[in-house]
Structure 1
Amino acid sequence: MIRPLTHPTDFEYELAKSSILYLTGDSEVRVVVLENQDYRFLVINGAIQSVLKLQDPKALVLPHQLELLAELPQLAPTARVLELGLGGGSALRHASYCYPQLYWCCLETNAEVINLYWEYFAPEQELAEHEIILSDSLEWLQKTPARQQFELILCDVYAEVQAPLLEACLGRLSADGVLMVNWLPHLQPQGNKSLDFFHWLSAQQNLQHTMQKVKGFRNQIHRLTKI
């Protein structure tokens, strides 16, 4: 029986019994793909970016993604989704199996990560409605036509997330759309004091905001909608 991964120590246990499939690195970025009999991992600079459950590729294994993707069942079948940050493509792969009619656009800044997705993490069938674009998220949002609106935007980048990026996301959100943000306190100048930042942003942009902490992990999932 495959043990569920519900705590950081569970992931450490699985990584410890995994073998390396791919390894590269320079002075700034170290990328590793590992696998054991149950899971395949993408790890960048020591942080797990994605997990593939080999016997159930559609499964969401990382606990924060259960909160981040909670809006998917509420979307119309052909709604438009924008994802910032591919990683190993867990969300995109889940959508390929469970929501194949969604238009899904994913922005990723690292070409190596995209190549690793296609080689180690992609579903067997590629869907025309799903695309991956090599681009900085903020640059893409600023240069593409504002008429491109999305019913759901997922900000799941392993990086600093501040007002310019979130404001650009909000500019692409449909009137009844939802912006979901995976906030990692150790990467943000505000640290764990995210509520002050999001309260300020909500007041500036006339938004409704809620936050959910992921039990046992550092992740905070922030949900923003237009009032």
Structure 2
Amino acid sequence: MSLHSPHQPVLPHLSALLLCFYYRQRPQKVTELGLGGGSLQRFFRYHFPLCEIRSIEYSARVIRLFEQWFWPAGSPCQIVQQDAQQAIKDVAAQDLLFIDLFAEQGSPDFVFSQAFYQDCCNALNPDGLMVINLLSASWLQSEQLLEILSELQLQFRILAVPGYQNKVIFAARQALPVLDFDSQLQQVARQYQLDLNAVVFMR
């Protein structure tokens, strides 16, 4: 986190995640599965103060560290301590759903489960967007996830982060235009100070 600008995305994969605004520009309801350092909480509170953003985090320790070190004192924040696999079943009508889940040994098994992504689909508005930060251990796992998204009849686009294992996937029921370095993408990057050099368009 930047102490000077806490809302500013710092890690490279965040620039890829936040290119979601190329597709969905004015979200009103957002859920994040996996709190991490709280980058999305700070970002949305700064840029979209009226947006309803909720983070679901399993680890009480992660929440405690976030509240102690990574959140401006006195600012409102909605965090639910719960297992994401169960919590997602009670989520509905989201404009954006961020899936950024990791256990000590990598992504939890249910991140490669069709039932989990069906629940994620059910949590979206008809035109809602799923934003997945995938840190897969193998090419086979990545292909497994893309097959699941295809079976659920979702459209998807994939970004890579140079020098990192992260793959960022945008998925939705609606058609998603190909991401390209056009004027709209450059405007999104300027508006939110995103680093386009940290992103490679895959498909």
Common topology (TM > 0.5): yes
* Of 93, 99, 103, the match for 1:155: 99
Structure 2 unaligned segments of length 5 or more: list them.
Answer: 175-203
Structure with more relative contact order (C-alpha pairs < 8 Å, separation 6 or more): 2
Pairing 1:73-152 to 2, within 5 Å after superposition:
74-76=24-26, 79-127=28-76, 130-142=77-89, 144=90, 148-152=92-96
1:100, CA displacement in angstroms? 1.1
Using a 3 Å threshold, how does the CA distance of structure 1 residues 98 and 124 change in structure 2: closer, same or farther?
farther
Q: Which has the higher helix share?
A: 2
Deviations along 1:72-101, one digit per CA (max 9) or x if unpaired, are 473326x10010000110111111112111
- CA distance, structure 2, for counterparts of residue 196 and residue 116 of structure 1: 34
Q: TM-score with structure 1 length normalisation?
A: 0.68
> Structure 2 residue aligned with 1:201, among 134, 140, 148?
148
- The alignment's C-alpha RMSD in Å is 1.8
Fraction of identical pairs, as percent: 27
Change (3 A) 1:125 1:71: farther
SS at match of 1:70: helix
1:61 aligns with 2:61: no
User: Normalising by the residue count of structure 2, what TM-score does the alignment of the two structures yield?
Assistant: 0.75
- Report SS of the residue matched to 1:193: helix
State whether structure 2 residue 168 is matched by structure 1 residue 221.
Answer: yes
Q: Distance in 1 between matches of 2:42 and 2:146?
A: 33
Aligned length: 166
1:116 and 1:55 map into 2 onto residues whose CA distance is: 19
> What code does the residue aligned with 1:59 have?
Q
Structure with the bigger percentage of strand: 1
- Find the structure with the greater CA-based Rg: 1
